[in-house]
Structure 1
Amino acid sequence: MSEQARKFDPSHATDFFTGRGHPGWLGLRYSDHGDDWVELELPWREDLLGEEGQRVLASGPILSLMDMASGMAIWRAMDEFTAIATLDLRVDYVRPAREQASVFGRAQCYRLTRSAAFVRGLAHDGDADDPVAHIQAVFMKITSTARL
């Protein structure tokens, strides 16, 4: 399917999703995407530090980055925006981010079923071969078929 024929374009949708609420407060930015993956950036900011005396991003904002990148990867793979809910998001932090470095979160939706989406990904601070964290996640698709 050509890029122009796609209905869900993360490069355009990111402004909407990151222009408000928690993702907006974090300052998440669009970085890149493919057919089933999305990469977002969490810029380094003084007020997002984890431990006093260390100038690295805290783990909480990185978790939020990966959750948003995962959701956008699912919408990209489905090629539509529809309601989803995070059921399970496991994050394995393998090292702290470098001091004063932005963190990039790349998530790939590798399997879609009728009711669930499965995602894997990583967070890095400029070198995807030396990740800050790995993630595995399961999301539930929420259908709009209501019973009366």
Structure 2
Amino acid sequence: MAGSALPRRDMTLDPEFLRQIGETMATGVPQAAALGFRFLSAGDGRGSIEVPWRDDLVGDPDTEVIAGGVVTSLLDHTCGLAITSLATAPFSTATLDLRIDYMRPAAPRAGVIAEAHCYKLTRTIAFVRAEAWDADRADPIATAQAAFVLNRGPGA
């Protein structure tokens, strides 16, 4: 996306518009579409996406666990969705830093859900925290801390 305005925290975006943004980010981006991401929710600086278990996403056939790279992509996309959910005008983002702490593998043959929260925006940087889990959110697979550059376009 390209644009020129940062979000204003006092504005609430139309839920249908947020759904469309979320669907685009989960299915319109080629990598996300190839991985089978599904949009769950977006709004107020939060976003949630899931990746259902599929045999071709398994890292080790003996364990039947979704590969860590899939979880990394899921967390990255979900962070971007959280940032975008605050937009009052289009702008692009790029990942500057993404630190992921893996705590355990996902359960065998289980999909993964991620939720992210954009907790701080500056003029040029968004700061986000996220977590991924399978069956129990209280027992995360991974957590992430991330920073994204905000490209507001020329003259913004």
Q: Answer whether TM exceeds 0.5 for this pair.
A: yes
What is the alpha-carbon distance in structure 2 between the residues aligned to residue 111 and residue 8 of structure 1? 22
Per chain length, whose mean CA-contact separation is higher, i.e. which structure has more relative contact order (CA < 8 Å, sep 6+)? 2
Which runs of structure 2 are paired with 1:1-148 in the superposition (5 Å)?
1-2=11-12, 4=14, 8-9=17-18, 11-17=19-25, 18-145=27-154
Aligned letter for 2:147? V
**Structure 1 residue 7, shift from structure 2 partner:** 8.6
Q: Deviations over 1:78-112 (max 9, x none)?
A: 34431111000011000000111110010100000
What is the alpha-carbon distance in structure 1 between the residues aligned to residue 91 and residue 145 of structure 2? 21
Q: Give ranges in structure 2 of 5+ residues lacking alignment.
A: 1-10
Aligned letter for 1:76? S
CA contact (8 A) 1:8 1:79 kept: no
What is the alpha-carbon distance in structure 1 between the residues aligned to residue 152 and residue 21 of structure 2? 21
Partner of 2:8: none
Aligned letter for 1:15? E
Distance 1:141-1:74 versus aligned 2 partners, 3 A rule: same
Q: Give ranges in structure 1 of 5+ residues lacking alignment.
A: none
Calculate the TM-score normalised by the size of structure 1: 0.89
Aligned letter for 2:111? S
CA contact (8 A) 1:65 1:105 kept: yes
CA contact (8 A) 2:91 2:153 kept: no
Aligned pairs, how many? Answer: 144
Distance 1:111-1:20 versus aligned 2 partners, 3 A rule: closer
Q: RMSD across aligned C-alpha pairs, in angstroms?
A: 1.8
